[in-house]
Structure formats: structure tokens, C-alpha cells
Amino acid sequence: MCPGTECLTCGFRSEVFASLPNYQLEELSRSKVLMHAKKGETIARQNDSIEGFIFLRDGLAKLCRTNAEGREQIVGIATPNDFVGLLSLFSSKTYNYSIVAIEDSSYCSVEYDMVMNLVGSNGEFARNLLAKISRVSDLLIGSRLDIDLLQLRGRVAYILCFFANEIYHSTRFNLPVSRREIAELIDMRVENVVRILSEFRRDRIILIEGTYIEILDKEKLSWAKMHG
């Protein structure tokens, strides 16, 4: 269990829970459980019953869906201070996708029934929650449309810029996903991802050493993202 006052100061209070009075936030904090997941560990599995409201405190997680043919498609990356599983909260009693740690992560889980009770008793909280769900949905749809409009080189450049600008805020980072997972995320064949990364390295746009990436020429990478 988490200490009763912890939610008063951590990122959990931002956005959705900002409208809760302290006594409700303290009750929430007493009931939530802090959990840890190693890289590759499943936090929630597609088609399992929704039992908790998950808040990612540290690390990264991928949201992935397996289709009827058994092919996995990554639909998004969850970052610290993200509420994951939101898109299944009201539409289904089971998760519509799996949540898998791609870095060692910690997350808080609040009982589903408690969240639903807050929805029923606090109108501002309910509006904040619906607004957050709408923003998450818009972001996922917008990202998918942006990727679909890009050429192959542009898609690889897009994901490198995403990790550099949105995740690590640095031109130097270790890719938390495999080449196969990159291909799933941007809807490409693995061999094309490998080929284009090699082309970027040959053109001195990036440096690659295993999972280590360094962006050597941000302007050229941005140009490749826009023009392929």
C-alpha cells in the first residue's frame, strides 16, 4: 500500500484527480497499491477483466493489441504520469489491449469500483476523466493518421524524433523497443526498418551502437520525417 498522503504530492493528483478534495484523495491513496514491473512484464493483458485504474509512475509501457491472426500491433507508448487503460474504462469490462513494460516501471493501481464511485459522486471528477479519455483517444488517432501519411523513411524518422523529443528529451538515448516493435508501431516490415536505420547511419544522420542511438543531424532527421 502507498502512504495515505502520497497522492497529495505525486503526479497522480494532476489532471484527472485535481478536482478531488483532500479527504477523497487520502481515501484513494490508502486503497491504491504501488506495484513494479520488470522490462517485458505484462501489466495488464488484453481480454482480461478490468480490476484496476492504472497510473504509470516511472518507466515506459507499450499498449499493444493482438488481432485475430495473432499479429501484434503497438497502438501507443505510455510515459510517466500517464493513466493507462483509459480507453477500455467505460467501453468494456475487459482490456481492449495489453499493457507491457518496455522499461523497468512502477505503477499504482486503484480498484475499479472506487473510481466508479468517484465518478458517481463527483461531477467535476467525472468531467475531467471523460476529457482525459477524449484527449488520449485524439492523440492516438492523430498519431496514427500522421504516421499513415508518411513515406517509409519519414516513419522511421518520426519514431526517432518521438523518442528524442517526447520521451527522453535528448539526442542520445537507448531505444527501449526492438526493431520488430518499431515496425509494429509504425506499420512497416522489420527489414525496411533495419534498412532505413542503416541508411540514416550511412548518411551520418544518426549513430547506432546496439540499442544506443545518437542523433547527429537533427535538421536532416526532421527533413526526412517530413519528406521521406
pLDDT of residue 129: 86
Nearest to 183 by CA among 41, 74, 65: 74
Task: Answer yes or no: is 55 within a domain.
Answer: yes
Question: Quick check: is 1 in a domain?
Answer: no
Nine-digit cell string for 164: 528524442
**Quick one: 16 and 88 in the same domain?**
yes
154 φ/ψ sector (left φ>0, alpha ψ -120 to 50, else beta): alpha
pTM of the entire predicted model: 0.83
Domain shared by 112 and 157, yes or no: no
If asked whether residues 154 and 127 sit together in one domain, one would say no
203 and 166 in a single domain? The answer is yes
Domain identity same for 133 and 205: no
Per-residue confidence (pLDDT) for residue 6, from 0 to 100:
57
- Structural domain for 165, as ranges: 150-227
127 and 196 part of one domain: no
* Rounded Cα–Cα distance for residues 181 and 11 (Å): 28
CATH number assigned to the domain comprising residue 212: 1.10.10.10
Q: pLDDT tens digits for the chain (228 residues)?
A: 444 445 555 655 566 777 788 888 888 878 888 999 999 999 999 999 988 888 888 999 999 988 888 888 888 898 888 888 777 777 778 888 999 999 999 998 888 888 888 888 888 888 888 888 888 888 878 888 888 889 999 999 999 999 999 899 999 999 999 999 999 889 899 999 999 999 999 999 999 998 999 999 999 999 998 887
Mark whether 120 and 177 lie in a shared domain: no
Q: Looking at the structure, tell me whether residues 131 and 209 fall in a common domain.
A: no
Q: pLDDT value at position 14? A: 61
Residue that is last in its domain, among 84, 110, 143: 143
Query: 65 lies in a domain?
Result: yes
Query: Which pLDDT score, from 0 to 100, does residue 146 have?
Result: 87
Residues 25, 99, single domain; the answer is yes
Per-residue model confidence (pLDDT) at position 2: 47
Final residue in a domain of this structure, among 89, 116, 143 = 143
Q: Are residues 100 and 130 in the same domain?
A: yes
Contact present, 54 and 108 (Cβ < 8 Å): yes
- Residue 118, all three cell numbers: 468517484
Shared-domain flag, residues 137 and 208: no
Look at residue 66 in the predicted model and tell me its pLDDT. Answer: 87
Total number of domains in the chain: 2
Tell me, what's the pLDDT at 1? 41
Whole-number pLDDT of residue 9: 56
Q: Copy the grid coordinates of residue 46.
A: 488484453
What does the H/E/C string look like for the chain? CCCCCHHHCCHHHCHHHHHCCHHHHHHHHHHCEEEEECCCCEEECCCCECCEEEEEEECCEEEEEECCCCCEEEEEEECCCEEECHHHCCCCCECCCEEEECCCEEEEEEEHHHHHHHHHHCHHHHHHHHHHHHHHHHHHHHHHHHHHCCCHHHHHHHHHHHHHHHHHCCCEEECCCCHHHHHHHHCCCHHHHHHHHHHHHHCCCEEEECCEEEECCHHHHHHHHHHC
